[in-house]
Amino acid sequence: MNKKIITVLFIAILSVLFFTGCIEEKISLQGHGSTKGISASNDENAGNRTVTDSLGRQVQVPLKVERVADTWMGHNEVLAMLGADDRLVATMFSPQKRPWMYKVCPTFNDAVTLSPTYDIEDLIATKPDVVFMSKSDKNLEKVSNLGIPVVQVSFTDFDSMKKCISDTANVLGDEEAMERAQQYNTYLDSKLESVRNTSSQIPDENRPKVLHVVSLSPLCVDGGGNIISDWIEAAGGVNAAEEVKGGIMQEVSMEQILKWNPDVVILSVNAKSREKEQIMNSDQWKKVKAVQDNRVFLNPEGAFIWSRAGAEEALQIQWAAKTINPDKFQFIDINNETKWFYKTFFEYELTDEEVQKILNAEAPD
């Protein structure tokens, strides 16, 4: 009897252990199933979304864009203005070429500087989530074929510029970028409206002819059909080189400049203070009305060149208006506007001395 009782008890204990094990295994499996469900949800949240770039292309980008490369020079400043400078892993800027940007947004120091003729391997090594490129970038198709999302960015006038900024914020995908894009576009619209309300009152025959010089050797100017002509027109001037087709940085002869005989000459990009002295002391240039009237100016240059395709275009239209038609735009305080702009969009408070350096196209201390 004792043996039977022991046997029954042993079987009962085994049964309890068996069923307990089954229950624990079932619980364990259910637990793993729940974890798998959460993981799948996370994978879904970490998926892609579709955005539209400046050329109307549909591009798949990560839901969360954390690493950005940018091979279009002026667009690097747009990213900084949108608060994404800390996401840049590859840039076309360098401390030597854009010292103000590195002073205002020191996180640029963490990004790799690509050369104008960069190798794809250097770009890929930075492991970008998204690459912003201009439509003329020779590596666009090659990078796209490697499976890296490429967003093409471009603008040639103020309307396409505002769209590009909004599209860029959409790619970045965060609330701060979207808010900054809206704030910037609203600011740009308000300044354009204010300047144009005044300049529209200037008769065509009284509008100064403005020549925007890019370099003296070779002698290059900015022709018509681009954003340079747009800000000259908004400021109440006429692009003296409007007839030169092909857009920016077009080589011309001195004979052509003498024929245009501009009222105002603005030096930018590769034409700085040394070139201004050269112009003012040149026998040929002394035949130009702008030189005779001492109306040769250096274009301001801060985080980027104000006159080019960058975020500081909003300041350029105001500076140009006050420079080209000073009697009509006495109400513009470009010093205060510059301070406000840098504090608002770069979170940097300029001193009075720093403002003057930017307005004079000088590097920071």
Q: What is the pLDDT of residues 64-112, one digit of tens each?
A: 999 999 999 999 999 999 999 999 999 999 999 999 999 999 999 999 9
Hey, what amino acid is at 182? Q
Hey, what amino acid is at 26? K
Find the range with the poorest average confidence among 31-45, 113-127, 137-151, 201-215: 31-45
**Residue-level pLDDT at 46:** 53
What average pLDDT score do residues 207-221 get?
Answer: 96
Global confidence as pTM: 0.85
Q: What is the pLDDT of residues 33-59, one digit of tens each?
A: 322 222 222 334 458 999 988 888 899
Strand partners, 216: 219
What average pLDDT score do residues 5-34 get?
Answer: 38
Q: What are phi and psi of 200, to 5 degrees?
A: -65, -15
Do the beta carbons of residue 39 and residue 128 sit within 8 Å?
no
Question: Tokens representing 178?
Answer: 């979207």
Would you tell me how many other CB atoms lie within 10 Å of the CB of residue 272? Answer: 17
Do the beta carbons of residue 213 and residue 220 sit within 8 Å?
yes
What average pLDDT score do residues 280-287 get?
Answer: 96
Hey, what amino acid is at 277? E
**Residue-level pLDDT at 13:** 42
Q: Residue 130 belongs to what H/E stretch?
A: strand 130-133
What is the rounded CA–CA span in Å between residue 98 and residue 94?
Answer: 6
Q: Is pLDDT above 60 for 192?
A: yes
Would you tell me how many other CB atoms lie within 10 Å of the CB of residue 312? Answer: 25
Hey, what amino acid is at 151? V
10 or 346: which leads in pLDDT: 346
Residue ranges of the domains in the chain? 48-184, 203-360
**Residue-level pLDDT at 245:** 78
Percentage of the chain exceeding pLDDT 90: 79
Do the beta carbons of residue 237 and residue 264 sit within 8 Å?
yes
Average pLDDT, the chain: 88
Class level of CATH domain 48-184: alpha beta
What is 203-360's CATH topology?
Answer: Rossmann fold (3.40.50)
Do the beta carbons of residue 256 and residue 269 sit within 8 Å?
no
Question: Tokens representing 39?
Answer: 């993981």
What average pLDDT score do residues 143-151 get?
Answer: 94
Q: Is pLDDT above 90 for 4?
A: no
What is the rounded CA–CA span in Å between residue 354 and residue 302?
Answer: 10
Do the beta carbons of residue 206 and residue 291 sit within 8 Å?
no
**Residue-level pLDDT at 273:** 84
What average pLDDT score do residues 174-198 get?
Answer: 97
**Residue-level pLDDT at 248:** 86
Residues 6 or more apart whose Cβ sits within 8 Å of residue 292: 286
**Residue-level pLDDT at 270:** 83
Q: Is pLDDT above 60 for 278?
A: yes
**Residue-level pLDDT at 271:** 80
**Residue-level pLDDT at 41:** 24
Find the range with the poorest average confidence among 173-177, 266-270, 284-288, 295-299: 266-270
Instruction: Check residue 246 and give left, alpha or beta (phi > 0: left; psi -120 to 50: alpha).
Output: left
